[in-house]
């Protein structure tokens, strides 16, 4: 039978066939039916598996079928088991490092990878970093998470999610099998209290908006790039990263617009910011000392201001309890309590993502003209304590 040369299937008996392809290659096939389903199982090429070996393999397959075992599924399970055994040398640390290396190119913020590495190195790896990733179970996951679940709930929640992701990656790569011991729903949520209930959420420390004019009067007297960056951040209601990463290419002084590209925005969407007169004055001052592409240059050449610089400026003012991000809350509270601007205008000024998908689909614009009026009123209030132009005009004329 092994001398057959014409393409086709040649029976040897008992479900064993020699398959000759059109190219002339020959291989052994075991045909069988399981639960009414016709199946074919490859047993190897003729140049590797002899006729007697093929008959032995077919015999073993028939015996499995007699015991109600699908020979193909049994072979898959055996291969998976061998692969799992081979993977025992792959530790959790190796799996985590491989996952981060494979995915960090897609992370917009370079610090994201560093945060992943730091979180896992600090809290997970001491407990099971050197363990085979296949051996990581619920007990080990809890050893890493439980000590900080009530004291650092936000960190613990991120840690759990990152462990879950690494283990999912390891499962897909064939390094482990079974359910993910770090999953929350239907598993760890039965063992740990919800994050929201273990400790009151701590918001960014914010200055009551009524105190803002006096604070801004003090801030404008402060010297240094960090003080000007803080002013700019408050008057534009922008995030720290958006301000310190601002480049001159994003600034249009003639149009009085700051256009932040989508790559630098949290929501991944371009954001135009109307610039009020004080912002223009700050930019003019920065242009006079320009040393790089960054509007607010740092101490190192071709590097922006440090993300700690504005916090340090607050400390020098004796305001260490405040955060830069907290001024966004001051802006939001002021807009809600002191103005009649619609909520969506305020939210868009803060560059928040629209939660309602239907609303987001219909509102394609950026409400720029309305935001221009809002930010102008914010500048007037921050400078004089009055939101309307008529109330503020006299005081503004007296300012230098």
pLDDT of residue 327: 94
Confidence of residue 1 (pLDDT cuts 50, 70, 90): low
- Phi, psi of 237, rounded to the nearest 5 degrees: 55, 35
Residue 163 pLDDT exceeds 50: yes
Q: Is a pLDDT exceeding 50 seen at residue 360?
A: no
Residues of 106-121 as b/e, b for ≥16 C-beta within 10 angstroms? eeeeeeeeeebbebbe
**Residues 55-92 pLDDT 10s:** 999 999 999 999 999 999 999 988 887 776 655 568 99
SS3 sequence, the chain?
CCCCCCCEEEEEECCEEEEECCCCCEEEEEEEEECCEEEEEEEEECCCCCHHHHHHHHHHHHHHHHCCCCHHHHHHHHHHHHHHHHHHHCEHHHHHHHHHHHHHHHCCCHHHHHHHHHHHHHHHHHHHCCCEHHHCCHHHHHHHHHHHHCCCHHHHHHHHHHHHHHHHHHHHCCCCCCCCCCCCCCCHHHCCCCHHHHCCCCCCCCCCHHHHHHHHHHHCCCCCHHHHHHHHHHHHCCCHHHHHCCEHHHEECCCCEEEECHHHCCCCCCEEEECCHHHHHHHHHHHCCCCCCECCECCCCCCECCCCHHHHHHHHCCCCCCCCCHHHHHHHHHHHHHCCCCHHHHHHHCCCCCCCHHHHHHCCCCCHHHHHHHHHHHHHHHHHCCCCHHHHHHHHHHCC
Q: Is this prediction's pTM over 0.75?
A: no
What is the pLDDT of the chain when averaged over all its residues? Answer: 87
**To which residue do tokens 């970093």 refer?**
129
Is 80 exceeded by the pLDDT of residue 302? yes
On whether the CB atoms of residues 215 and 383 are closer than 8 A, the answer is no
Going by C-beta distance under 8 Å and a sequence separation of 6 or more, which residues neighbour residue 398? none
Higher-pLDDT residue of 171 and 388 is 171
The upper half-sphere exposure of residue 112, i.e. CA atoms within 13 Å in the direction of its Cβ, equals 13
Domains and CATH numbers, the chain: 8-78 (3.30.160.390), 90-198 (1.10.150.130), 209-398 (1.10.443)
**Average pLDDT in the 355-375 region?**
68
What pLDDT does 115 receive?
A: 85
- Structure confidence at residue 392 as a pLDDT band (50, 70, 90): very low
Give the model's confidence band at 353: pLDDT under 50 very low, under 70 low, under 90 confident, else very high.
low
- Report whether 91 contacts 129 (CB < 8 A): yes
Which residues, 6 or more positions from 38, have their beta carbon under 8 angstroms from its beta carbon? 31, 32
Quick: pLDDT tens for 103-128: 888 876 667 788 899 899 999 999 99
The two structure tokens encoding residue 140: 């080990």
Q: pLDDT category, 217, cuts 50, 70, 90?
A: very high
């Amino acid at each position: 039978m092994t001398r057959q040369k014409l393409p086709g299937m040649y029976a040897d008996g008992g479900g064993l066939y020699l398959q000759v392809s059109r190219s002339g290659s020959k291989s052994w096939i075991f045909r069988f039916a399981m639960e009414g389903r016709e199946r074919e199982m490859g047993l190897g090429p003729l140049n590797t598996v002899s006729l007697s070996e093929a008959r032995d393999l077919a015999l073993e397959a028939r015996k499995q079928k007699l015991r109600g075992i699908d020979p193909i599924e049994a072979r898959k399970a055996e291969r998976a088991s061998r692969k799992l055994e081979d993977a025992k040398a792959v530790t959790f640390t190796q799996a985590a490092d491989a996952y981060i290396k494979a995915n960090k190119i897609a992370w917009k913020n370079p610090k994201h990878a560093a945060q992943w590495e730091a979180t896992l190195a600090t809290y997970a790896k001491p407990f099971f970093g050197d363990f085979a990733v296949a051996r990581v179970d619920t007990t080990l996951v809890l050893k890493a998470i439980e000590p900080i679940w009530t004291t650092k709930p936000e960190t613990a929640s991120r840690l759990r999610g990152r462990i879950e992701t690494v283990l999912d990656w390891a499962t897909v790569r064939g390094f482990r099998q079974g359910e993910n011991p770090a999953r929350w729903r239907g598993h760890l949520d039965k063992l740990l209290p919800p994050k929201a209930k273990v400790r009151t959420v701590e918001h960014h420390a914010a200055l009551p908006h009524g105190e803002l004019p006096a604070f801004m009067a003090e801030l404008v007297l402060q010297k240094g790039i960090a003080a000007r960056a803080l002013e700019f951040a408050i008057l534009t209601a922008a995030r720290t990263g958006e301000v310190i990463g601002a480049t001159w290419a994003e600034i249009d002084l003639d149009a009085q617009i700051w256009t932040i590209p989508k790559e630098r925005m949290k929501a991944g969407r371009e954001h135009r910011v109307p610039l009020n007169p004080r912002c223009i004055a700050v930019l003019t001052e920065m242009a006079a000392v320009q040393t790089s592409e960054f509007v607010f240059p740092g101490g190192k050449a071709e590097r922006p201001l440090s993300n700690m610089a504005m916090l340090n400026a607050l400390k020098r003012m004796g305001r260490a309890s405040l955060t830069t991000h907290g001024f966004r809350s001051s802006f939001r509270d002021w807009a809600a309590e002191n103005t009649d601007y619609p909520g969506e205008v305020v939210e868009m000024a803060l560059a928040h993502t629209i939660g309602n998908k239907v609303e987001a689909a219909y509102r394609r614009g950026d409400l720029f003209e309305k935001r221009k009026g809002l930010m102008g009123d914010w500048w007037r209030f921050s400078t004089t304590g009055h939101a309307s132009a008529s109330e503020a005009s006299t005081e503004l004329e007296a300012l230098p």
